[in-house]
Every structure is written in structure tokens, then in C-alpha cells.
Structure 1
Amino acid sequence: MTDNEGDRADSLTEWLSSRSDDELAELLRLRPDLTIPPPPTLDVLAGRSHQRASVLRAAEDLDTLCLTVLELLAHEGGDTDPVPRSRLDELVDKRATKKAVDAALALLRTRALIRGTTSLTMVAAARDAVPWRVGRFLDADSGLTAEVVADKLAAVDDRSRDLLTTLTRSSSIGRTRDAAPGTPADRPVQQLLASGLLTWLDDNTVELPPQVSQALRGEPVTDPLALTPPTPSTQQVKVADVDAAAAGEALELLRQSENILAALGRTPAPALKAGGLGVREIRRIGKSTDLDEARVGLLLELLSAAGLVAVGLPDSGPAGDIDDLWAPTPTADAWLTAGPDRRWAALAGGWLDLARVPWLIGMRDSNDKPIAALSDEARSAAAPRDRRVVLSVLADLPSGRAAATEDVVRIATWRRPRLAGRLGVGPVSRYLAEATTLGIVGRGALSTPGRALLSDPDTAAAAMNRVLPDPIDYVLVQADLTVVAPGPLTPELAQRMAAVADIESAGAATMYRVDEKTLRRALDGGSTAAEIHSLFGVHSRTPVPQALTYLIDDVARRHGRLRAGVASSFVRCEDPALLAEVLSSPAAEALALRALAPTVAVSQAPLADVLAGLRTAGFAPAGEDSSGTIVDVRERGARVVPRRGRSPYRTPAVPTDEQLGRLVSEMRAGTKAGDVRRSERERVRSDGTRASGAATIALLQRAAVSRSPISIGYVDAAGVSSNRVVEPVGVGGGQLDAWDADAGVMRHFTLHRITSVALLG
């Protein structure tokens, strides 16, 4: 369309009709809520585009310049009468370039929040999208810098500071009689007005300048007149160092996640009645995995988001009277065997789209109760958007550029002023800390895998694989029976080391500890003494200490002299004297062991209980199957099948290009068919009113936009008919909201009960 066609359009419906199919499709893509349910005509689309909820949702992604343009148009009455573009440029007063203003107007037009080029008209509800007082741009004081505000605040007394703090915690607009002229100058309000810490609006109203509010909240102070994004003060960091730090965090994250899964597999955690995991269970898991409570809470949220833990009734483990337990899912088995790059991508991708706020865990809710991990209190539908807004600030910096948290806050709040309440220093610093834990951020800069995760999630695993250190196939065995892995081990070697040793410390280098318990665990798993000797002999770059060789041989010599199987269970031993010693021990009575022969005894206890009881008594039995082969009797851990739950938050899905094209075609066809029947649908009665439903809604919407008084015929629920003169405020949700000037109240009318509508004046 030409530039002038939008200026000649009298209504939003006419303006939408003049849009091209691609422009309409782009509108629906940016505002997917307009497509639910699919609008049959452009009239319906225009009506939805006017609705306040939809307009506010569309304004969430607008930056400070776009919202300032809406503010200036609203100040000039652009929601009722067109505003010349030249007037807008005059109000902007070169605080932004013409090119930048053109881009802002184009963005607003794309979202159908304004129309026209040389004359600009905005939808009425867009006034409510401005997150500050309309007109603030024209009277704001840009001289209130951070230093000036700090000096002024230092000079006020406690009463005045308390007043400012109250406004900071509530609305920035305050009502007071002390603002009127003639009020004694020693009153706090007058003192604050004189110092510039309050702005006078009228005799009964004052406003807290945004710079003062930011300073009191401990936020970075910004200039409310700035129509260009802040320039961050960045620090150059080598990309290799950033990626190395990110890779180290990722490996540590995976190791700790494995430990959490193992802990929950051994002992599933009971769910609270209100959902989630209690503090006692968090502490138990933290103690068994050597992690603090905050870390455990974050890892549980990540594992749940990736579908690796869920609540339900496990397939094994003590359930008792507990209905719901948190335990690993069968998906965890596949995740544990996957490569570290793919495991990282599953956790990082789950965090990015997680509609929860893990850093809230442990804080107090409105009832002064601690917020539990995996509970409903930690839900937040806005969290995924907030994370992306924060990370996009780092993503727009060159690779290897780190920015301070304060600069990230300044830029993020300039880009999304309507989200400023959720993007303070506290939340942003916690989002960045979580991103650092996940390896998305390293040394204050976005890592290469993190950049891939934001731009193309399908390539994130490959990007992480490139920055992870190459796995090594050797270890360093030391004289004190510790084993050092100076880097990440190959999956096969890591699995074998985990079977024969316990991790004492992890990081860039991992230290293992070998002792009698770990060697017996390896033998229980089916390994032989020769295989354990070969493991250290082949993979150790240092000589194997003689003490380790002796320990392996000693444990192996005692291991398996007793054989336990299923009879329910049986105990077999080639040495009758040893079996006689077992039968005379306290364990025999507890297990109800009964001798069948000098070398065989049986028990009704399960095999696992027999093995545990004999080991507690000081023996070293091994499990075997019916053929006499040693079997792996280690616990596999409980598993729970996740339930199919319905998310409490539903966001409109963005239609595909094909769906959008079909929807636009159907709307145009519906509009054309409606034009053919318009004369019938908009028939006029003898009293000048209109009768059809579609025409009534269209007339009500036009009256609401222009704030024109109307006369309506209405039948209430009791069947009583009446005529009323009201001023429409909004139409939507099946009702008309209108101001009744005679009664001085807001009235709500059900649309299908309105029998006639007539414009007045």
C-alpha cells in the first residue's frame, strides 16, 4: 500500500483491509493470541486488536523508544484524533534520529498498535501499555544523575526517607494535601519537592522520579529521557578462556546431576502434600552428594525439566504408606549413557524454557513459609522470557566480551521497560549465576555453546562437544591409594573407575580413592582380581604401588568363598569350617539359615538381604546364579514413570506460514461475503438504531474508540427492557463495559441482551 492509504483509513478494519497478505500474516505471527479462535473476518480481527489484554501482551516486547512514541501520541490525543508526524518529531526533539523513530513506528504498525504515516492514530488501549505516567517524557528531569540523587538522599531526614521508601514500594504517584501551595516549608513533602526528590503534579498529587526510585531500590540509575540504548562498559576475555570455563562448569554439572539421580534411585524422596520436596529431603540429598541445599534445589529443577526425575510410585524401593515419591524416570537410564555434550544440551535447553524460578527455592512466600523445590510456588510463566531477555544482552555483544550485571540490567530494562519490575539487579544476577552454572556463560561472557543454544538449539550439543576437553584414557595411581584423573576420562574408563573407586574430589582433575569397600564392590559386579590388576596396570601412567596390589589380592582371596543364591536364597562354601562359622554367627539366626549339607545352607530371606547380613557380620560373600556364575547384585535404583500432567500455563502457539496464509485468505473471503450482505445486516430501524449482532458490536467498538455516548436498548436477566445512555469504555469477553454518567458508576452489559444501539451526537 502507499503511505497515504493508511492516513485515509477511518477505522482499524479499513486499515487492516488495506494491508497486504504478508503484512496481515506478520501481524498474526507477532500477536498469536489474535488467532484463537480463528477470526472469520477482518472486522473480528480489528475488534480483537483493540482489546486491552491483547494490546498489553503485544507491548511486552516493545523497547523504550517505541513506548515513548506511544506515550507522546497518547499525550497528543492520538487515540481519538490523528497526530501529525511532524508534531511527533517536534516532541522527540532530536533525542532519537529520524531513522530510529521511523523504525519504531514501523514496528508499532506491524503490530497494529498504530496506523498511518503522515498522520498517526493509535488504538485506545495502547495508552495503558505505557508503563509510566503519560506526559512524563515532557517534564522529566534528566539532571538527576546517580551522583546527584545520592547526594540529595544523603541530606534528607528519616521521615522524608520513609516517605520516599513508601512510594518506592507502591505506586510512584502519591496523593497528599501537603503538595498544595501555602503548605509550611518544613513539611517533608515540601522539603522533598524543593530538593527535586519529588515532582509536583497538582495540589494533591506528587510523583517519585524514576531515578530516585531506582537509587532507593539499589538499581542502576538511568535517564528517563534516553531514547537510545545504553552503551555497556565491557571487558575483553579470550574466547578460549570463556569456553574452557563453560566446559568445566558443564562437566561438574553433569557429575553432580548423576549423583542426584543415584541418590534418588537409592532412596526415593517423599513428595510434600502441597507438592515438591521438603527441606529435610533436600538436606538428606545434599548430605549424600556433598552439595549445598541451593545447588540441590537447582539440580532437581533441571532434572525435572529434562524429564529425568518425576513424582509417582516407583517400581521398587520402600513406599510404605506414601503415595507419591520423587525418583528417576526410565529416561534417566538413556541420559546416563549418552555423551556429555548431549546430556548438557538436555539440561541447558530445559533450563532455558523452564517456566519456574529455581533461585526462589528457600525464600519465604506470602505466608512466611519457605518455598520448596519442585513446588507450585516456584512457578513463573514469565521466567523463560526473562531469561532470554537477559541472555540476549550478552548475545548482542561480540564474542569474548563480558558485561557487568549493572550494565546488563540497564540494557535489559531499556529494551523491555514493561518487564523492569522483574529485571532488577537481584533477579538478573541470579539468572546469570544459573547460566554460569550451566556453562551458558563463562567469565561473564556468553560461551560458544551458550550462543548456539540461543540461536539454534539443535547445534548446541555439537558446539559443547567442540569446547569440551578431549577425553583421556589414563590415570595416575599414587602411593596413598588415591588415583588422579588429570582430565575427563573416556566413557569406558570412567565407568570402570567408578566401579572400583569412589570420587573424593572433582573439578578439572578428579581424585578417586581405592579401598576394601570399593574393591569388593567391583568384585560384586563381576570383575576378577586379574581384571582389576590389568585396569591399573594398563591405564596408570605411574607405577602401581605394591600396597594396592596386595590389597586387591587380599580382598579377592576372601571374596566369594561364600556363595549365596536363590532358594529363596542359598549359601554355598567349599570350606565346611567356614560355613560352620557362618551358621554359628548371629547373622544365621537373623537370616534363618539352615544347613542342608556341610557346604550348603538355605534361607527364606531375599538374596540381597542374605548378602547384606553376611557382610555386616564380617564375611565377604559373592552372589551367583543357578550355574554358579558370579552375578552383579548391585542395586539399580528405583524408577518412576512420569505422569502426564497438564501445564497450568498455556501460551498461544505461533501458527505456521501455511496456516497463516490460509487464515488470511479465509478472513478476506469472510469479509467479502459480509460486504455483500451488509445492507441486510446493517438495516436501520425507524428510530435510527441498528439491529444485527455484528453491526451492533462494530458500532459499539467504534463508540468505545471515540468515547462517544450511545443509547442502548437492554433486556436484563429478569426480562425487563430499558433504554440507557452510556459512554462505552471497552467491548470484549461477551460484554460491554460502559460509564453511566448519570449514576456515576461503571456498568457491564451482556452483549446478547443489547437489543439496539444508536449514536448520540
Structure 2
Amino acid sequence: MPVSLADHLRALPDPELAALIALRPDLVMPVPGDISALALRAQSRLSVARTLDSLDRFTLEVLDVVRLTRTPETATTSVEAVLMLTAESRVAAGPVREALDRLRALALVYGSDPALHLVAGVDEVCSPYPAGLGRPAADLNTDAAVLVSDPTRLRRTVLAAPPAARAVLDRLADGPPVGTVAASALTDPESDSPVRWLVDHHLLVPIGVDTVELPREVSLLLRRETGPLGPLHPAPPEIEAPERQVSMVDRAGAGQAMEVARHAEALADVLAAEPAPVLRSGGVGVRELRRLARATGLDEPVAALLLEVAYAAGLLGESGGETGDAVVLPAAGFDAWRVTSLAQRWARLASGWLLMRRMPSLVGQRDDRDRLLPVLSADIERVGAPAQRREALGVLASLPPGAAPSADDVRAVLSWQAPRRVVRAAASAGHEAALAEAATLGLTGLGALTSYGRSLLAEVEAAERLDPDADPLGISAGAPPSKAVEALDALLPAPVDHVLVQADLTVVVPGPPEPGLAAELALVADAESASVYRVTADSVRRALDTGYAAADLHSLFGRRSRTPVPQALTYLVDDVSRRHGGLRAGSAGGYLRGDDEALLAEVLADRRLAALGLRRLAPTVLISPYAPNRLLAALREAGYSPVPEDATGAAVLTRPRPPRAAARPSVPSRRVDDPLAGARLTPARLAGIVEQLRRSDAAVRAASRAPAGVRSPGGTAGLTGAQAHTQAMAVLQQALREKSRVWVGYVDAHGATNSRLVRPVSMGAGYLRAEDERTEMLHTFALHRITAAVPEEASP
């Protein structure tokens, strides 16, 4: 029977050890040296706390029962004792055994049914009062111990308590069993405080200047109706949520999804016209957020949410950080995104929201240094944000379709699923924000999870569970079509390829436009709402600037409009196109100016200067696409004597400055990433970790059985270093001839003395090659690092 966690882990089969590592991946980050180190890490305070944070309320209650039923002599309990105590609280044995199995799988409890052990770190992390019960009266006070030793007297004393004192008892009996009062209530004999009455009658025991504790026996008496453990919670709370029609939920969510895709596209268009500068500390400032919100007609929180989601979906990015001030503008994938179907556009945004580590709800709040948190800044990143969103939506997904629970109902279920984590105020706010953001993005409608939102949530979770080792070459068939996209496509109106042009030059789109039509409308008209555009002189000029001709625009409106094209639109296009191009602007790298027209004509006709591309703008002015420095060099090489001038026409005659390289730091800086950060524990990786632990543990345990002469740094006692080395070589040669095993002591690369039981295979060229049969590995030892060698049969 194992007596330590290390022995228990060694006795586990490989599949069970791999399952433990999969449940607690922090145990192998990095991989420990052996199973003893794994056991120490599994009992550490940080690892135990992280594991307890993932347990539901009932499993934590069963863990408290294990703590309560431990015997002081052996510090162990039994499954029978746990079942007996929970039965007094009217809980069936089945759920209790399932909770014990979960605790065993997580290595928080180990051992056989008659002797269950609790890992050491649990008592350090959990409350010192399991199940809300205080310490026995014998550990607190002699008078209290005398009182509780007589059950009849104890009941009479409790019944005689005044109402105010009884209320204090009931409050402490529910847990925790300690409370604080004013110091005078405990020190003043004349005090009429109910706590003073309880202390005088030994129902409460002072444990400090202003702190009292309720003995365990008194709590058990007060809990006689609910059981010694108080009310247990083997199942999550039932939610009585109103049920909506699934079709109504889906339609409401689909309408919101259309708006989200449209507003995200509008935000990107505004950023394309005027990119938002990035603050030095990162993120986009409050003024820019307000500008974007005004330009798109959104509230600032919604604009911040869509900016974060579009950034997480890869539709927005930063540019110019290396050469100048960084700005936020549409990314390269935005143009490809906007020509996809509406359902695909929404799915990309919603998937980015589910997976992103930022919390848009924190935008506008203040940090610890009283600074505003801007949008797109690193200060609003939270590692647990994706998990909080999926936990909140998971509660909705666990309910029947159409169920619309309130935020309080969702919080109650989450508090049962992970009470230690949800009890934190930040986590609770994160779940509430997740529900609000899901409604804004169209994942929910009328407070219920939509059918396509349910499908998208399942697809995201399935993608995270996908085993990359299943297709290491990446040659499998393409991913199946998204059910969420198909479901949303069926809800959205069919895309239209036509418009209705009105006499007031407005263009009405009777439905969501197809990608080609949407691209044309964005070019030739200005959007006024989701389905109404207006043709203006500026929009016509914008189309002409991109290469359209007047005939092209007439053809476009004639082909797309189901109504006759108004004459006013035809006149507008013709009028703008007639004036288009009347003035032309171009670029010139440099110019030549002089009062001698003949000299300029000579330069223009000089064939040696033909490569400069000179053109005459006036009798005394020539221009070239090349910079003035190149003009000067070419003219001087051809025998002319030009001089540069500034913007005022004055000659610039200065001594040239010698070129210098750009300044650089004396010590280059680089980012060092954790090689194991984000590593996924796939089945193949788990099997490799288990095999590595087994081998290293066998090697460490074998080394502990090595002879003392091999383990000691000085080698064999009574011999000098040279004599010990010569003797070791003789032993190795004998073992090589007889093919026997031998203990080898050697100094590793870190200067530490190690030992290993091996079978020599060859020895030469300054190296010994030997096989470790326990680990089935071939090792190479430098002969000059070998300190001792002892045959296996000669070892004790």
C-alpha cells in the first residue's frame, strides 16, 4: 500500500498518469526530473490552488468531508467514513463516489478505500474550518469542553440563549465559525452584548482580543436538522428561465448580426480614410474613439467592442511603427473579408471575440495608477477572458433551446461550477460583460442563445480540442462547411443584385447587397443607412478618380437599377465628368531654372542628359523626375556648372556633411519566449512525457543504489585519482569482454558526480559507449570524466 504521493504515482498505470498530466498540465511545465519531483510539484501551494479553482461546489464539499474525517493518528480517512457522514446530510452515495473519483483523478486524494490520503497542499490553500465547523471544544477551552461533554446540559444552555444571542449562534453555525466584536464586549463584565452572554456560558470561546470561535460540538447541535455538514449541493441550481420561440430568437440574433457586420465595415472604412494614431503607451486614445463613434453613429462602448473584435479577427492592424508614428488602419485581409457572404463575415468576427484575450468592457475604466484604459491597449488583456466567455455561453448552451435565463441565474450556475474562481469580483464582472457583448454581437437574441451561436460555440471548442498529431503533414481534406454559417445564411435574406434609384438621387437596396454590388455602391455613392445610399458630386468624382468613365457609370446605373434612371442623375454624371481632369497635378523630383534660354535649350538637346527625362515647362524652366542631387551630379559630369537653390531662389553653397550610420544600442535587445508557452498536451506528447518520467525516475532510483565508492566524488577510498581511474579502466575492459553490467561513476557537464548501471558496448578514441538496459538508451562517457567503476556483482 503506497504511503506517499510519489509511491502512488509510480504505481499508477501509464494511461492514468497521462490522464493526471492532462488534467493538471502545470505539473509538466517544465517536465520534472523524476516522479518524486512530480509529486512535490503536485503538492505545491500554487498547483493545488489552481486545481481547486476548477472544481465544482459539491466536489469541494466532499473534499471538506475528507478533511473532517481524518484520524489524528494516521492522518487518513476511509471511503466508508466519508459516505457515513454525507449520508447524515441526506446525500446518496453515488454522487459522493463520483466526487471522490474526481479528486483521485486530480491526485488531491490518493490511496485505497480503507486508507485515503490527502495531499499536503490542500490544508494550506483551503479554509482552516472545513464545512464551516470550528475546532473541537477540547482544543479551545476547558470550560467549553466540560459543557459539551454533557449533551443534556448543552441543549439546555442553547435553549436558554436570548433571541439576540441565538441569532449570533445561528449565524456562526452556518460558517465560518469565527467572528469579530468590539474588544469591550469581551473584557467588560458589565457588558450586555449577546456575545458576552455566549462567552460567559461557554458557547463561544475567545481566541483573540476581539475574536470568538464557535466550538464544533455546538455547531453540530445547531445543524441537527440539516445534517452535520449543513446543506450540500450535489447538483447545480435549477434555472426556471422563460422560454422564447427558437425562430424568434434566431431572427432577433440574425438582425443584430447584420448590424454588427455593417458597423464593423463602416469602422474600417472610417479608419481607411483617416487612420487612428496609436498612443505612445499603446492603444487608441479617447478622442479618436469618440471620433470613430460619431462617424459611425455608435455608442462609445459598442465602438470599442467592435474595434477590439475587428482587431482580433485580423481585419485591423498597426502600421508605421518602425518608420514613424504608428496608426491603426484596415489590414490586408479586410478587402477579402468584405467580399464574402454576410454570414461568413459575422462568423469571423464572432470567432475572434470568443478567442481574443482582451476585455473590451475595461475600456474607459481606470487602472491602479488612476489612468484611463484605452481601446486596443495591452492593459486590457486578460488571460482568462476566453474561458469566461465560453463558460457564460456554456450555461446558455446547457439549457433547452429558447431558454432565456437572467444574469443572476447564469451567475448562480457558474458559482456552483467553479465557486473559488467565480467568487472573485473581477471574474463575475467578466461573465456579465460576456453576456452583454454576446447580445451586442448577435450570438444571443432575446436573452437566449441562437441556434447558429450554439453551433459556432461547439465549432470553436472542437477546433481547440483538435489533435494536431492526427494529420502531421497537413494533407487531409479541407475543413467541413461551418454549420453556424449555414444556419445564419438560412436566416438572412437572400443577397440582391439590383437597386432602386429614386428621383432625389437616393439609391435603395431592397436587401443585403451581394459582394459585387456592395463594392460598386461603396465607390459610386455615400451610405446614409444600412439600405439607403445617395449619389453626390463627390461620389461621382471618387468613381471617376478610380478609372470609371462617364459611359461606365451610365451603364452601371442602367444595369443595376430596376427603376428608370432619373434624368438628374444622368446630368450629374455628365457635368462632373466634363470638368474632371481640367487641371492636372504631377510630381517633379527637381527643376532647372536660368535666365539664359539658349543655355537651357542646349541642356534639353544634350543627348548625354537624355536619361534625366527633362521637360520644358516655360522658356526658362526645365523639370525632371529625379532629385536635385542627381541633376547636379549629371550636369557637372557633362561639363555644366549648376548650383542648388532654396525655396526663396537664393543659392545654397555649403560644405557637405560626411555621411554617418544610424545610431544603434550598444547591447542589442531581444525577446526571449518561453518554449513551452502555449504547448498543447496531445496524446503523443503525453505518452512521451510519461516515458521520460519513467526513465528518469528509474535512473535516479538506480543511482541511489550505486556503491558508495561510485557515488562519492573522490572515487575509491584509499586510492589516488590516477590509481582509481586506472582501476576503473581495468574494470570496464573486463566488463566489456564478459559483456556484464558495471556501475560507472562519472562527472557530468555541470561538474556533478553521477552514477549509472550500464553494459559496456565499446571503448575507444577516448570514449566509452554503454547501454542502460533500464531506459533502453545508449550513453557515451568521456573516459577522462569517469571516476570509478564497480562490477554489479561486487556492489552491496
Question: How would you bin the TM-score normalised by the shorter chain?
Answer: 0.5 to 0.7
TM-score, normalised to structure 1's length? 0.65
1:30 aligns with 2:23: yes
2:346 is aligned, of 344, 347, 353, to 344
Instruction: State whether structure 2 residue 98 is matched by structure 1 residue 103.
Output: yes
How much does 1:53 deviate? 0.9
Bigger relative contact order (CA 8 A; separation at least 6): 1
Checking the alignment, whether the CA contact within 8 Å between 1:307 and 1:331 is kept in structure 2 is yes
Partners of 1:34 and 1:45 within 8 A in 2: yes
Q: Give the drift of 1:191.
A: 12
State the Cα distance separating 1:649 from its structure 2 match. Answer: 13
Matched, 1:494 2:494: no
Which letter maps to 1:417? P
> TM-score, length-normalised on structure 2?
0.62
2:687 paired with 1:661: yes
Alignment pair present for 1:438 and 2:431: no
Structure 1: gaps of 5 or more residues: 1-7, 140-155, 157-163, 165-170, 194-198, 209-222, 570-593, 607-643, 686-761
Match for residue 183 of structure 2 among 170, 177, 181:
177
What are the Cα deviations for residues 667-720 of structure 1, in whole angstroms up to 9, with x where unaligned? 22333344444444999x9xxxxxxxxxxxxxxxxxxxxxxxxxxxxxxxxxxx
Larger Rg: 2
- Within-5 A mapping of 1:486-565: 486-506=510-530, 510-562=531-583, 564=585
1:42 aligns with 2:35: yes
SS of 1:403 mapped into structure 2: coil
1:260 deviates by 2.5
User: What CA distance in whole angstroms lies between the structure 1 residues aligned with 2:348 and 2:360?
Assistant: 17
Aligned to 2:307: 300
Partners in 1 of 2:190 and 2:96 — Cα distance?
45
Cα distance in 2 between the residues matched to 1:55 and 1:454: 30
Q: How many pairs does the alignment contain?
A: 560
Match of 2:53, SS? helix
Mean alpha-carbon deviation: is it higher for 127-136 or for 470-479?
127-136
Alignment of 1:61-100 (within 5 A): 61-77=54-70, 81-92=75-86, 93-100=88-95
- Give CA deviations for 1:549-598 in whole Å, capped at 9, x if unaligned: 433333334334455556679xxxxxxxxxxxxxxxxxxxxxxxx9959x
In the other structure, the counterpart of 1:748 is none
Aligned pairs for 1:690-701 within 5 A: none
AA of the residue aligned to 2:275: P
CA offsets per residue over residues 517-553 of structure 1, 9 Å max, x none? 2122222222233333333333334444443343333
Q: Does the CA contact (< 8 Å) of 1:95 and 1:226 recur in 2?
A: no
Q: Please state whether the residue corresponding to 1:483 is helix, strand or coil.
A: strand
Cα–Cα, structure 1 residues 548 and 325, in superposed 2: closer, same or farther, change >3 Å?
A: closer
Encode CA deviations 1:142-191: one digit per residue, 9 max, x unaligned: xxxxxxxxxxxxxx9xxxxxxx9xxxxxx996575366497777769889
Residues 282-321 of structure 1 aligned to structure 2 (within 5 Å): 282-313=289-320
Partner of 1:697: none
Q: 1:45 to 1:647 in 2, by over 3 A?
A: closer
Question: Is 1:450 matched with 2:445?
Answer: no
Unaligned runs of 5+ in 2: 136-163, 165-170, 172-176, 215-229, 464-479, 591-614, 628-669, 712-796
- State the Cα deviation string for residues 215-271 of structure 1 (Å, max 9, x = none): xxxxxxxx9743320111222223333333333323322222223223333333332
Shift in Å, 1:84: 2.0
Aligned runs of 1:273-288 on 2, under 5 Å?
273-288=280-295
Q: What are the within-5 Å matches in structure 2 for residues 126-145 of structure 1?
A: 126-130=122-126, 133-136=129-132
The counterpart of 2:405, out of the listed 403, 406, 412, is 403
Following the alignment from structure 2 to structure 1, what is the Cα–Cα distance between the partners of residues 129 and 2?
29
Moved more, 436-445 or 485-494: 436-445
Q: 1:552 to 1:368 in 2, by over 3 A?
A: same
Q: In the aligned structure 2, how far is the partner of 1:649 from the partner of 1:302?
A: 28
- Mapped contact 1:500–1:522 kept (Cα < 8 A): yes
Residues 207 and 213, structure 2, Cα contact 8 Å, conserved in 1: no
Query: Would you say the 8 A contact 1:178–1:187 is kept in 2?
Result: no
CA contact (8 A) 2:64 2:131 kept: yes
Is the contact between residue 33 and residue 652 of structure 1 (CA under 8 Å) also seen in structure 2? no
Question: Which runs of structure 2 are paired with 1:513-662 in the superposition (5 Å)?
Answer: 513-562=534-583, 564=585, 653-662=679-688
| Pair 1:427–1:483, CA change in 2 (3 A) | same
Matches within 5 A, 1:119-158: 119-130=115-126, 133-136=129-132
CA distance, structure 2, for counterparts of residue 239 and residue 646 of structure 1: 50
- Structure 2 SS opposite 1:380: coil
Superposition RMSD in Å: 4.2
**Contact 2:318/2:327 (CA < 8 Å) preserved in 1?**
yes
Structure 1, residues 304-336: CA drift from partner, whole Å, max 9, x if none? 323333344169xxx8xx543333333434434
Task: Name the structure 2 match of 1:471.
Answer: 495
Shift of 1:32: 0.9
Deviations 1:416-456 (A, max 9, x none): 11112147764332111111222222222222332233222
Taking the aligned partners of 1:446 and 1:536, their CA distance within structure 2 comes to 42
SS at match of 2:280: coil
Identity %: 40
Separation in 2, partners of 1:20, 1:259? 58
CA drift at 1:280: 1.6
Cα pair distance change 1:178/1:323, threshold 3 Å: farther
Aligned counterparts of 1:454 and 1:192: Cα–Cα separation in 2: 55
